[in-house]
A and B are shown apart, each in its own frame.
Chain A
């Protein structure tokens, strides 16, 4: 897999940085390593850890993808 993009009329082909893509693995690691978050404590606003941790990864994942998007431009 090369990092070059072919030139087209719409997109000149600068060298795209793709090293940031590794950040995209974080949500996978965070959410698929279940033993890590399978706990009720510490609770937050009445939510057991299991729930607020997973819910938190929604905005975190958006943020990570945003960072990669901006960084890759």
Chain B
């Protein structure tokens, strides 16, 4: 979409971007710790209290991709795209119950990653490595998508080409290297406040300019009716199961990702996590309203060649230039915060669970931190190269697969918190089969997330990740029941809370 340069917007954008860059570098001195130690660089020394965690997890979980992609989906397919809201609601009871236990186990065992935790219980190094590889592979397309989100907003300001992206990446790379997770934690304050301002302004102002919410929904209704009525502002009965299974599967996967896991493990206590389970849903309210911007775009008559451009186009249409710049900055920074944490989470996994056990078991803790810092750079660089040389569709397809894959780590991570009776070979096989089934089904469907099961002559369209997880779990539990208990698992402090 060639756009003329919006100078005012661009200047405002650059101003906020510069502010955030400065913060990123200053963050290294905040809540000071020895950043040559991995738990300081990678987990902030586990010092983040309730408020910081709220900003950090909020900024991490609700990303630029969220702001761009969710309305784009709602714009394209209506109510079906709204599954992001129930998904980001039901995730919280799960976080409340499960994450404090995991935090506690990781604190006791001095684990930095989920793979560390799994290894702490089951021993060995190959399964932990498998968990690590899953996490890294699931994270990389997600980082790429954040960069794409950033590219979309920069382009909407009239600046095209790869240079802005490369510059943004370099800045991100430097302050993450220098400050570790403290950088996105501090920047998250600014970013979350900006996003709240933008979204509240959008959901109050835009409908009022369009004749109120009732008109917005009516316009959307008509739009979908004209398109043939396959989708609409409410679901077709054939979509019910797909909607629910997407919500459930996404919710279960959400905190298995290394970036959300890392943000949670950086908390200062179990209580911090529980309080955040109560407070974080506020962001979901925001997300629900963000989703409705898809309908607002329809009502405003916005037409775009690429659905991802819907939100920037809507803002450009309605807001004054300076606010467009502010909104663009908010969204771009919303890409940087999760991208930073994602690269840190992936780097932690690489260093702790791939490099150390498989390449250099005698690595010192200082070398570990150094290794992770480099890994984090490589991960970001890889994502950047990916965006520049591959079509966006690739990133989206890989992200879908990544979601299916990461969900397969749930039995090992979550079930191990509640039972000592799972066996390593069973978990490994369950994981492997889950990944295989999930990947196979996804390819069969042309990389769409839903597979229609035929049971007794009826069709059941279910999210592929969930199908794979069920297969995974059944195998894991069945095999655990029949395999002999290993002696090592029965004795010793495994660091889990019971």
Contact = CB atoms under 8 A, between A and B. Distances in A.
A27 B90 contact: yes
Interface string A1-45: 110111000000000000001001101100111110011100101
B240 A38 contact: yes
B444 to A, nearest CB: 25
Contacts of B241: 34
B497 interface: yes
Contact of B418 (A1, A5, A51): A1
B93 A24 contact: yes
Nearest to B287: A58
Contacts of A27: 89-90, 92-93
A5 B82 CA distance: 39
Contacts of A43: 214
B53 to A, nearest CB: 15
- Quick one: which of A1, A4, A51 has the most chain B CB within 10 A? A51
A5 B93 contact: no
Given A28-B90, A34-B235, A46-B214, A55 B498 contact: no
Contacts of A4: 498
Nearest to B88: A58
A65 B288 contact: no
- Quick one: which of B212, B235, B289 has the most chain A CB within 10 A? B235
Contacts of B5: none
- Quick one: which of B243, B278, B419 has the most chain A CB within 10 A? B278
B244 A34 contact: yes
Contacts of A46: 207, 212-217
Contact of A61 (B92, B233, B240): B92
- Give the size range of A's interface with the partner: 35 or more
B20 interface: no
Given A32-B86, A38-B240, A64 B288 contact: no
B270 to A, nearest CB: 9
A55 B293 CA distance: 15
A39 B93 contact: no
Nearest to A50: B234
Interface string B233-257: 1110100110110011000000000
Contacts of A5: 497
Interface in B173-221: 207, 212-217
Contacts of B497: 5-6
B213 A45 contact: yes
Contacts of A39: 234
B85 interface: yes
B243 A34 contact: yes
B375 interface: no
B109 interface: no
A10 B480 CA distance: 35
A23 B233 CA distance: 30
Contact of A54 (B89, B217, B240, B419): B89
B213 A65 contact: no
Nearest to B86: A31
A40 B233 contact: yes
Interface in A49-66: 50-51, 54-55, 57-59, 61-62, 64-66
A50 B414 CA distance: 32
Contacts of B148: none
Interface in B81-97: 82, 85-86, 89-90, 92-93, 96-97
A70 to B, nearest CB: 10
Interface in B410-425: 418-419
A55 B90 contact: no
A65 B212 CA distance: 33
Contacts of A65: 92-93, 96, 274, 277-278
Contacts of B418: 1
Given A6-B498, A47-B213, A66-B278, 18 more contacts: A6-B497, A24-B96, A25-B93, A31-B90, A32-B90, A34-B244, A35-B240, A38-B79, A45-B213, A50-B79, A51-B82, A54-B82, A54-B85, A54-B288, A55-B289, A58-B285, A68-B96, A69-B96
Interface of A: 1-2, 4-6, 21, 24-25, 27-28, 31-35, 38-40, 43, 45-48, 50-51, 54-55, 57-59, 61-62, 64-66, 68-69
The 3 closest A-B pairs by CB, nearest first: A46-B213, A46-B214, A24-B93
20 contacts: A4-B498, A24-B93, A27-B90, A27-B92, A31-B86, A31-B244, A32-B90, A33-B244, A34-B241, A35-B237, A35-B240, A40-B217, A45-B213, A54-B82, A54-B85, A55-B85, A58-B282, A64-B93, A65-B96, A65-B278
